[in-house]
Amino acid sequence: MTKFSTFALLVSFALFTGCDFIKNTFTYKDKTENFVEALMDKNYDECINLMATDHETAKKTNRDSLKSGLDQFRAVIGSNFGDGNFEYTFMNAEKKRSTVAAENTPPNTTLAHIEFSNGKNIGVFQILFDDTSNKIINIHTLDVKAEKPNMLLFWLFGILPLTVLLFNIYVIRKIKKSNLKRKWIKYLAVIVLNVPAISYAAVDGLSYKLLNFQILFGVGFSLMGYLGSVWTFGIPLGGIYWLWKLNQQKSLRITTKRTPQNVSDSHESTPEIENL
C-alpha cells in the first residue's frame, strides 16, 4: 500500500468516526429528555427501556432495585427543581482519555452533559451513553443549581470583545500597509499579546485572569447553555503598542518634512524606525 493510500485511509476513517460522533450528539438531548419525562411521570418501565441494561456494567442489576433507585432519583430532582416541564440544552459530549485510569470513560461510551431549567433555576445532568445502542448507562445530576440569568446583559457585554477583535484587525491592516520589516512578528504580537483576560459568564458574572493570554485576536466565546455561555477578551497590549509605534513613525515623518534643516538628521533616524 502506498503512502498516499495509507494517508487517504486514515483521513477517511477520521472523517467517518468524527461524523458518527457528531451525529450521536444530536440524539443525546432527545434521549435525556425522553428519559427524564418518563421518570417524572413515574413511568419507570419506560425509563428502563431507555437504559442500556445489556451493557456489561448493568447485567447484574436487579429490575426492582433499579426501579427503587429511579424513584429516589426522581425525588431528588423533584425536591430541587420541581416535577417536570423542563427545558433542555445540550452542553457537550466527550470521551475522556487520561493517564489516570479512573478518569477515563469506559470503552465504547460517551459522557454527555445536558443542561435543564424549570424556568427559574438551572441544573445539569451528567449521562454516560453506550455508543452501540445510544442508550443510557447511568445518569445523575451535578451539584449545580443556579438562577436563570438575564441574557440581555450577556449579549451587551459582547460589544467589548467585538471591539477588541475589530481593533486588532485594524492594527494588522495598518501593519500590512506600513513599511515595517519582519511584519510576521508584529502580526504575532497583535494576535497573541492580549492580556490580562476579562470574562463575563451568563451565570457567574464578571471575572479576570491576570496571566491568561487570549491568542485568537484577543477574543473568546462559548455558548453551551446558560452555564457554558462565556465572553472573554484580553487587553490588546500588542495592538496598542504597534499602533503607537506606527503613529510615532508617522508623526516623525511629518516633522521631518516641515523642518528642511533637519533633513540630514531625519535620513539617519528614519531607517531605525522603519526597521522595527
Q: What is the DSSP string of 23-38?
A: HHHHHHHHHHHHHHHH
Let me know: does 218 contact 234? Beta carbons within 8 Å.
yes
Let me know: does 113 contact 125? Beta carbons within 8 Å.
yes
From the list 213, 218, 267, 272, the residue with the least C-alpha distance to 245 is: 272
Query: What residue ranges define each of the domains in the chain, with the CATH number in brackets?
Result: 3-145 (3.10.450), 151-274 (no CATH)
Residue type at 251 in one-letter notation: S
Q: For helices 63-81 and 3-40, give the axis angle rounded to 10 degrees.
A: 80
State the pLDDT at residue 7. Answer: 43
Question: Residue 219 contacts by C-beta under 8 Å, 6 or more apart in sequence?
Answer: 161, 162, 164, 165, 232, 233, 234
Confidence of residue 87 (pLDDT cuts 50, 70, 90): very high
Let me know: does 214 contact 232? Beta carbons within 8 Å.
yes
* pLDDT tops 90 at residue 8: no
pTM of the model: 0.74
Q: What percent of the chain is modeled with pLDDT above 70?
A: 82
d(CA 257, CA 176): 24
Greater confidence, 227 or 259?
227
Q: Which three three-digit cell numbers place residue 191?
A: 494576535
